[in-house]
A and B are shown apart, each in its own frame.
Chain A
Amino acid sequence: MLRFLGRRLVLAALTIAAMSVVIFVLLRVVPGNIVDLIFQSAGLVDPSEKQRLVHELLLDRPIAFQYAQWASAFVHGDLGKSYRYGLPAWQIIRPRIPITVELAILALTISIAVGVPTGVVGATRQNTWLDYGLRIFSLAGLSLPAFWLGMIIILVLVRTLGWIPSMLYIAPTVDLRAHLLQFAFPALSAGYRSAALINRITRSSMLEVLREDYVRTGRAKGLTSSAVVYRHALKNALLPVITVIGTEFAFLIGGLIVTETVFNLPGVARFLVEAILWRDYPVVQNLVMFIAIVVVLSNLAVDALYARLDPRVRYA
């Protein structure tokens, strides 16, 4: 197990290193001069400032040196400076992290809580009206744009309950109920897609497992239907579901970007879009790198969990 984890850890480190090169190069192929863009969007006018900016961004040095400096600063926790705010990027990002993390955890919890049971029901009642209904529900989840779903949710809430989502972030310490209410609907709209995917994978995986010999043996020896389904079949069917939950985490981040924007939540994902729109490139570069690391680490966690649950994986 330790050897397996060690191998995965090395691979994850290599992946992160390679991603950093890709991100760095991508943001250096910007058409036009990055300094001009920052210069304009930061509202600077003095030409001498431009020279200062070139020097500050190390653009007068070789590209390999620029990369080495950035990577070293990043490793030491220096996320650069936001040209929009004139502040260290970390100062702006830090208060936003708990918001995005909470939203991601809530959305993932909802998607698992909805996706797994509905997938099991769909498989055990295959080709019944309930199954057809659930399949439409899951296909719809993969088809509705998350931001539109969010808009419709807000629209319905305002029209029916007269509830207007707060324009300002409500901390849990200030008003827990209002805080949960503020997060519940964004989590629902961001989690629906993942719930749909988890539902589909659980259903197909369960259908496969329910045809196995040991399930028939279980039934033959007189186990109750729920014992066969939940204790024997589901345990084995969950392995591919865990893989999907891992990869879904990456997609969820994409969903959070639009959801935070629709629901006006000041999270990291929304800040990334703002930084792109303001062409605050140093922040964009560091935030994307940050997201890449989170995704790689979540994949690593899934690998470890997978190996823990399935011995065939760690001895392969």
Chain B
Amino acid sequence: MRAIAGRFLRRHPLGAVAGVIMGLVVLAAIAATMVATQDPTRTDAAQTFLPPGPRHWLGTDHLGRDIYSRIVYGARVSLAVGLTTSALGGIMGGVVGLVSGYGRGVAAASIQPVLDIMQGFPLLVLALVLTAALGPSLPTVIVAIAVPFIPRVARVVRATTLAIRETTYVEAALALGASGLRVVVRHIVPNTLASLIVLTTAQVGSAILVEAALSFLGLGVPEPYPSWGRMLSVSAAEFAQRAPWVVFFPGAAISVVVFASNLFGDSLRDFFDPRLRI
């Protein structure tokens, strides 16, 4: 493991930096109570729209809340959504892809058209419909972002499964009496892991962006959770001219984390499978 990490660092130093940034953000989110300087929900009518300074590092918003502390706590929501949806979508998509790629019969054959339909749908619109149907809450947002991710993963896993199913070593394993489940677990799953890791890492950034967009539109994680998208909500835009820091810093936080996640995902992809390089 250490050898792999060392090779990754040598070949993709920028990717490694991005990985470190992601790691730091995760740590800050976990230790938010220690990293934040103020209570993110505490309002103060006498301290509204204060510019960045020694007391409020990134200034205060229209309710006098400390923007830096809100960004630190907001990382919890963004990362919770980003990591959970990627893991959830990755696992479910992986299982669906394996079943539709290895399984036979009507059930396996009917999966693919359903996935095609889901994939043809704009991610944000599908997420909007799901939040409209289920009402805005953290679990709803997670489901709304994870579900559209399933077909993307399933498609890749299915393609790999179909290719490996036809290889001679799978044929040999079956001839030796291995069960279908054993073939899937021992031969197919390990072969799909690399692309699965790459896909799920890349998804973290997209999920954070979709969550931010949903929160911006007022359909994301509801108050009192500070969320980066909500900090940029339509009402915050009205104050932008008066206090640009109110919109600048939360947006910059989203951009830096998504940029790092994309760069890390790109480097992982190049590291695991140079053929996929784009």
Which residues of A pack against B, CB within 8 Å?
14-15, 18-19, 22-23, 26-27, 29-31, 139-140, 142-148, 151-152, 154-155, 158, 200-201, 203-204, 250-251, 253-255, 257-258, 261-262, 272-273, 276-277, 279, 281, 284, 288, 291-292, 295-296, 299
Contacts and interface: CB of A to CB of B under 8 A. Distances in A.
Nearest to A19: B117
A241 to B, nearest CB: 11
Given A23-B129, A288-B125, A143 B244 contact: no
Given A284-B132, A295-B122, A258 B213 contact: yes
10 contacts: A29-B133, A143-B259, A147-B213, A148-B251, A152-B247, A155-B241, A253-B124, A258-B216, A276-B131, A281-B132
B96 interface: no
Given A261-B216, A284-B132, 10 more contacts: A15-B120, A143-B205, A144-B255, A145-B216, A145-B232, A145-B254, A145-B258, A146-B213, A253-B124, A255-B124
A288 B129 contact: yes
A269 to B, nearest CB: 9
Nearest to B232: A148
A295 B120 contact: yes
A151 B128 contact: no
A221 to B, nearest CB: 30
Contacts of A14: 113
Report the 3 A-B pairs with minimum CB-CB distance, sorted nearest first. Answer: A254-B124, A148-B251, A204-B278
Interface of B: 113-114, 116-118, 120-125, 128-135, 205, 209, 212-213, 216-219, 229, 232, 234, 237, 240-241, 244, 247-248, 251, 254-255, 258-259, 262-263, 266, 277-278
B125 A254 contact: yes
Contact of A250 (B114, B122, B130, B254): B122
B52 to A, nearest CB: 16
A151 B254 contact: no
Contacts of A299: 120
A212 B80 CA distance: 45
A250 B232 contact: no
Contacts of A291: 122, 125
A142 B124 CA distance: 15
Contacts of A261: 216-217, 234
Nearest to A148: B251
Interface residue SS majority, chain B: helix
B247 A151 contact: yes
Contacts of A250: 120-123
Contact of B113 (A18, A23, A251): A18
Contacts, number: 140
Contact of A155 (B133, B219, B247): B247
Given A155-B247, A204-B277, A276 B255 contact: no
B125 A253 contact: yes
Contacts of B209: 143, 145
Nearest to B263: A139
A292 B251 contact: no
Contacts of B120: 15, 19, 250, 292, 295-296, 299
A18 B240 CA distance: 43
Contacts of A296: 120
Contact of A201 (B218, B244, B254, B278): B278
Contacts of B229: 145
A154 B135 CA distance: 31
A151 B241 CA distance: 10
Contacts of A27: 129, 132-133
Contacts of A284: 129, 132
Contacts of A281: 132
Contacts of A258: 124, 213, 216-217
A284 B131 CA distance: 12
B201 to A, nearest CB: 14
Nearest to A30: B133
Contacts of A15: 116-117, 120
A276 B134 CA distance: 11
A26 B209 CA distance: 23
A149 to B, nearest CB: 8
A77 to B, nearest CB: 21
A144 B128 CA distance: 20
Contact of B278 (A144, A147, A203, A262): A203
Contact of A257 (B125, B232, B241): B125
A257 B259 contact: no
B259 A273 contact: no
A142 B205 contact: yes
B252 to A, nearest CB: 8
